[in-house]
Amino acid sequence: MMRLAANLTMLFNEVAFMQRFALAAEQGFKAVEFLFPYEFDADLLAHELHRHGLTQALFNMPPGDWAAGERGMAAIPGREEEFRSHLPTVLKYAQALQCKQVHAMAGIVPAGAQRADYEATFIANLRHAADFFAPHSIRVLTEPLNQRDMPGYFISHQRQAAALIDQIDRANVGLQFDCYHAQIMDGDLSRLIESLLPYIAHIQIASVPQRNEPDQGELNYPHLFQHLEQLGYQGWIGCEYKPASTTLDGLGWAQPYLS
């Protein structure tokens, strides 16, 4: 049975963030994920999680100045110190939330920049983060993002991410395989998932092209779920989509997978 995690950044936006845990649990989710916890107290978040019996499947490391368009800095030359300075804070949240996976966003490569410099920075930073988190059994994830929504993002293809993970060469670095981005950039998802399974630590889903409920659009999720089950995928599936109407109105698709 596929294990769904509610993405609280995108779902249950009908209520304030701290109230979304209760709604997710009420609907039968056993786990949640969200982008950034840092404006909330770690212990309060942990309290919400635990009182609703939820697992924290994933959250992101600080992305830099989001409002100014920054989308992480793991690959940005000159930002190494800043990237590394975030690690103790991320660890504090991960420990409070008992979360075993964090996503290190890579950042945007300016047009005309030397890509090799960005690759070297990314590899060094991810090794550093992986070594920092390894004693705590925490994995560092990297996620390719599609170029239509995120022009210039450092990683946009799944196999490109897998090749970088090989170069990083740390056991606790994995791939965050977001089917929405993967379909836009790569396609052939059944075979892609099959060949990259050893890298995949976390999966996310949404319809393509609208990024709405997964029972719409060009992807056949019942087929992909069956395929993942046959392949023995054990991780969480993050529901990272924008409800077309309200979250609850659109949640019918998930009923077979929620208890």
Ligand X SMILES: O=C(O)C(=O)[C@@H](O)CO
Per CB under 5 A, residues contacting Mg ion are 178, 204, 240
Residue 6 CB, nearest approach to ligand X (Å)? 13
User: For residues 168 and 130, is the Cβ–Cβ distance under 8 A?
Assistant: yes
Our answer to whether residue 143 is catalytic in this structure is: yes
Which tokens is 195 given?
Answer: 């060949």
Cβ nearer to ligand X, comparing 32 with 105: 105
Active-site residue, from 33, 48, 119, 143: 143
Residue with the closest Cβ to ligand X?
Answer: 178
Residue with the closest Cβ to Mg ion?
Answer: 178
Cβ nearer to ligand X, comparing 120 with 185: 185
Residue 214 CB, nearest approach to Mg ion (Å)? 13
Which tokens is 153 given?
Answer: 């993002």
Partner interacting with residue 35 (select from Mg ion, ligand X, none; CB below 5-8 Å by kind): ligand X
Residue 146 CB, nearest approach to ligand X (Å)? 9
Cβ nearer to Mg ion, comparing 186 with 240: 240
- Site residues (vs ligand X, CB under 6 A): 35, 60, 103, 105, 143, 145, 178, 181, 204, 240
Amino acid identity of residue 62, one-letter, is P
Which tokens is 171 given?
Answer: 């056991």
Partner interacting with residue 60 (select from ligand X, Mg ion, none; CB below 5-8 Å by kind): ligand X
**Cβ neighbours of residue 151 closer than 8 Å, sequence gap 6 or more:** 108
Residue 208 CB, nearest approach to Mg ion (Å)? 13
85 CB burial (10 A radius; 0-12, 13-18, 19+): exposed
Partner interacting with residue 103 (select from Mg ion, ligand X, none; CB below 5-8 Å by kind): ligand X
Residue 47 CB, nearest approach to ligand X (Å)? 24
CA 142 – CA 110 distance, rounded (Å) = 19
Cβ nearer to ligand X, comparing 5 with 54: 5
CA 147 – CA 136 distance, rounded (Å) = 34
Our answer to whether residue 14 is catalytic in this structure is: no
Cβ nearer to ligand X, comparing 68 with 116: 68
* Total count of residues recorded for the chain: 259
Active site residues: 143, 240
